[in-house]
Structure 1
Amino acid sequence: MTETIPQKPDVMSEDFARDPHKYYKIMRDHYPVLLHEESGYYFVSRFEDVARVYKDSEGFSNENYGFQMEPVIGRTVIQMSGREHVVHRQLVAPTLRGSYLNELLPQVDDIATKMIDNLNPGESVDLVENFTRWFPINVIVRMLDLPEEDMPKFHDWYSSLMAFLGNLTQDPDIHAWGMRTQKEFPAYMLPLIAERRKNPGTDFISRLFDAEVDGEKYTDEQIKSLIGLLLIAGGETTDKAIASTLKHLLQRPDQLEAVKKDPSLATHALVENLRYHPPVQIILRTATQDIEVAGTVIPANSVVAVVNGAANRDDRRYPDPDRFDIFRDDISLKGAFGGSAEHIAFALGRHFCVGSLLAKRESETAITQLLEKFPNIRFADGYEPEDEGMFTRGPKDLRVNLT
């Protein structure tokens, strides 16, 4: 009997937005390289192919960030290659993975404690609006040593940056929002950076002044752009990682109970969430030449949409991939937040997320502290969580009873 091939998914349809995983499977099985005609993007969905795109820096570049991000925040390490990328990554890495990170981590715990202390037993709250959305922004504001009252500005800026980054349909309102941020963000940051140069402290910005590789140092403009990247990489993504992990635990009372009894399992839950439902579902790359992937030739200069969310549930790579299981034994915790990770959530290869260890600590402390203070936490009566987002994805709200 001849197999009936399902219709090619429309990645911009409402059905796709509601349940992308249903269509990710169709893509993996029948359209492993799917051309979206309206945008001209090629969507790559199988684990092996996604890993290849990330690791093949000769065949696939980061030039797409030239139109995704640079118009709003300027040129950053994420779009660099070769020696330029190596130098700039070495400049920033010590501040996000070295001694400064160790100094920052107790402050991360303190911020989580203070925010959770503002939640009261017996309340019914939306954890996204009342905690996960603001927690990573609080951390960034603390890192930059800025007034807490400026947090709404940073939230608006990173929201506009994320929208601009994923503006597949070239929505003019989203473009205009990004252009407002293009003016407002430098007007805020550049004078502040100049003042810190005159009177440096121990904050993230001041530490960047001393970073040097082969005689190269950061300019004020480069620091401004790096902070914009920090907002994108460290704001919404961490928010969604925490909210999604909590959602999946609340949907599985046996696994939730296991984490409450053994808080070290929060790391297992986080890693499984990174596989099962990564906060960054899609990352773009650019083909540097005509290149064949899964039997399809992708023309040179084409934009390639690398679908982490599909790759991480590929049954060619993981057994029973649609099962969320914090006791899964096919992904090691060792290296799960580094370049050798056995999941694809932070990209792979040279551009693996340099801030992954900070995201790890933020997520772990958020989950463990919430469950410690509210051991009987549960979904609000009659509530069913829904996810939203295409490039980044997570619960649009998370209504719970704090008991």
Structure 2
Amino acid sequence: MTIAEDVALPPDILSAEYLSDPYPLQRVLRDHYPVLYHEPTQSYLLSRFEDVAGAFRSPQFSSRNYEWQLEPLHGRTILQMEGTEHSRHRALLNPFFRGKGLEKFMPVIRENAMGLIQGVVASAGAELMDPIARSGRADIVQDFSTWFPINVMVDMLGLPKSDHDRFHRWYESIMASLNNLAGDPDVTAAAEVTRHELREYMMPIIHERRSGDGEDLLSRLCRAEVDGHQMSDEEIKAFVSLLLVAGGETTDKAVTSMVRNLMDNPDQLEAVRRDRSLVDNAIAETLRHSGPVHMIMRQTEEDVTLHGVTIPAGSTCIMMLAAANRDERQFADPDRFDIFREDLDVAKAFSGAANHVQFILGRHFCVGSLLAQTEMRIALNLVLDQMENLRYPDGFVPHEEGLYSRGIPELLVEFDPVPPA
């Protein structure tokens, strides 16, 4: 049955068809059901760009849903906060993720990216000693992207490098829990163990650094103060837990999708390889075209009417970021990946004035947007510098997985390693 024949029935975001390829069904939602009550999740789906962007900027929608969605896993974080409490915590965090505060951590980001990429290239060089091997091989996900942002976070926090593996395990446990739509009790139990382990690990360190003078992110957060207020030990621990997801999973998936998008468009890959000023174009267009976060929840603070549908106060709304970022009303030929598109403002793509919604808009605009841009920029430049003639192995076709967040679980590549200078 074609989409045209099936248009009388709204798409189900939990169906196998949607999970396999959500983009055609997102178009059906935008065109015919821009506001739709979804019974299985007891939520209203918003899929058009104007509605999603407007909701993020409107006081009619809040992030109170995180109190039941995220707080049991992380604790209370800036995502749950509104009003003065949110403004104060944002003022505490902003100095470390923008301007000179972010520049301070550039060596840490470069060192981690270089170490991982050089490991991949060295392994490829060893493979080429085998007379049967014709090129280097790697899985961009397992060999690089899934480790890179987690390692950066651990080092920025000033925690031992020997704990990279431990934090990666905690990261995978938290992500499994957030995506546990089937309610697997083993996944839930593992996440509870992670919550306790992370707390037992972090609290003594936070207490110790309260009185220290270190320049790592954790020490500086412990000393940070705005209008006489500091973050509590619990709030700092919760922020570290949140960083595992917000600072890890999103960048992990975005880096992988960016490499895949460029490989699928060889002319654009070569354009970026020749002209590195286009790197930010590739990042911005990846965030629009195949951003890692597909859905984010909000809650209505009062009755809201959109497209003839009244959403009652207190309702959960699913903001469909991926659908909004491919809205034909906002972008021309939106399913096409195009680093040269004129309707995406690259100069503003990493700011609160962005004309895509991957980083959210309004008062909850992503604090770590510039960190994500920096990590993606360094990652792509190193891939281009160290790996020539990128291509897929024969028979390999990358595929996406996921609902609320979506990415490529495996990205196998072959390449010609660039010898060290």
TM (normalized to structure 1)? 0.96
Separation in structure 1 between the aligned mates of residue 306 and residue 137 of structure 2, nearest angstrom: 49
Which among 23, 35, 56 is matched to residue 37 of structure 2? 35
Separation in structure 2 between the aligned mates of residue 346 and residue 393 of structure 1, nearest angstrom: 15
Separation in structure 1 between the aligned mates of residue 234 and residue 13 of structure 2, nearest angstrom: 36
Separation in structure 2 between the aligned mates of residue 33 and residue 260 of structure 1, nearest angstrom: 42
Separation in structure 2 between the aligned mates of residue 187 and residue 300 of structure 1, nearest angstrom: 39
- 2:118 corresponds in structure 1 to 117
- 1:185 corresponds in structure 2 to 198
- 1:94 corresponds in structure 2 to 95
Q: 1:293 to 1:163 in 2, by over 3 A?
A: farther
Mean Cα deviation higher: 92-101 or 274-283: 92-101
Residue 392 of structure 1: CA displacement?
Answer: 1.1
User: Does structure 1 residue 55 correspond to structure 2 residue 57?
Assistant: yes
Aligned length, in residue pairs: 400
Separation in structure 2 between the aligned mates of residue 300 and residue 165 of structure 1, nearest angstrom: 25
Separation in structure 2 between the aligned mates of residue 292 and residue 391 of structure 1, nearest angstrom: 25
Residue 207 of structure 1: CA displacement?
Answer: 0.5
TM (normalized to structure 2)? 0.92
Which among 310, 332, 336 is matched to residue 349 of structure 2? 336
- 2:76 corresponds in structure 1 to 75
User: Does structure 1 residue 210 correspond to structure 2 residue 223?
Assistant: yes
Separation in structure 1 between the aligned mates of residue 280 and residue 351 of structure 2, nearest angstrom: 14
Separation in structure 2 between the aligned mates of residue 126 and residue 343 of structure 1, nearest angstrom: 29
Residue 277 of structure 1: CA displacement?
Answer: 0.9
Separation in structure 2 between the aligned mates of residue 388 and residue 102 of structure 1, nearest angstrom: 34
Residue 168 of structure 1: CA displacement?
Answer: 4.3
Q: 1:61 to 1:170 in 2, by over 3 A?
A: farther
User: Does structure 1 residue 375 correspond to structure 2 residue 388?
Assistant: yes
What amino acid maps onto 2:398 in structure 1?
Answer: P
Mean Cα deviation higher: 23-32 or 146-155: 146-155
Residue 178 of structure 1: CA displacement?
Answer: 2.4
Separation in structure 2 between the aligned mates of residue 173 and residue 75 of structure 1, nearest angstrom: 24
Contact 2:209–2:222 (Cα < 8 Å) also in 1: no
Percent identity between the two aligned chains:
46
Residue 6 of structure 1: CA displacement?
Answer: 4.2
Contact 2:206–2:222 (Cα < 8 Å) also in 1: no
Residue 188 of structure 1: CA displacement?
Answer: 0.8
- 1:259 corresponds in structure 2 to 272
Mean Cα deviation higher: 312-321 or 288-297: 288-297
Separation in structure 2 between the aligned mates of residue 310 and residue 174 of structure 1, nearest angstrom: 29
- 1:234 corresponds in structure 2 to 247
Q: 1:177 to 1:41 in 2, by over 3 A?
A: farther
Which among 7, 10, 35 is matched to residue 8 of structure 1? 10
What amino acid maps onto 1:23 in structure 2?
Answer: L
RMSD: 1.5
Residue 240 of structure 1: CA displacement?
Answer: 0.7
User: Does structure 1 residue 268 correspond to structure 2 residue 269?
Assistant: no
What amino acid maps onto 1:326 in structure 2?
Answer: I
Aligned partner of residue 44 in structure 2, secondary structure = strand
Separation in structure 1 between the aligned mates of residue 37 and residue 195 of structure 2, nearest angstrom: 31
What amino acid maps onto 1:101 in structure 2?
Answer: L
**1:145-180 Cα shifts (integer Å, max 9, x gaps):** 122232222223223333433444544333323222
What amino acid maps onto 2:51 in structure 1?
Answer: D
- 1:138 corresponds in structure 2 to 151
Aligned partner of residue 34 in structure 1, secondary structure = strand
User: Does structure 1 residue 390 correspond to structure 2 residue 403?
Assistant: yes
Contact 2:57–2:363 (Cα < 8 Å) also in 1: yes
Residue 30 of structure 1: CA displacement?
Answer: 1.0
Contact 1:39–1:169 (Cα < 8 Å) also in 2: no
What amino acid maps onto 2:212 in structure 1?
Answer: N
Q: 1:387 to 1:296 in 2, by over 3 A?
A: same
Contact 1:260–1:375 (Cα < 8 Å) also in 2: no
Separation in structure 1 between the aligned mates of residue 299 and residue 364 of structure 2, nearest angstrom: 14
What amino acid maps onto 2:90 in structure 1?
Answer: R
- 1:151 corresponds in structure 2 to 164
Separation in structure 2 between the aligned mates of residue 160 and residue 80 of structure 1, nearest angstrom: 25
Contact 2:352–2:361 (Cα < 8 Å) also in 1: yes
What amino acid maps onto 2:295 in structure 1?
Answer: I
Separation in structure 2 between the aligned mates of residue 294 and residue 169 of structure 1, nearest angstrom: 32
Contact 2:210–2:223 (Cα < 8 Å) also in 1: no
Aligned partner of residue 191 in structure 2, secondary structure = helix
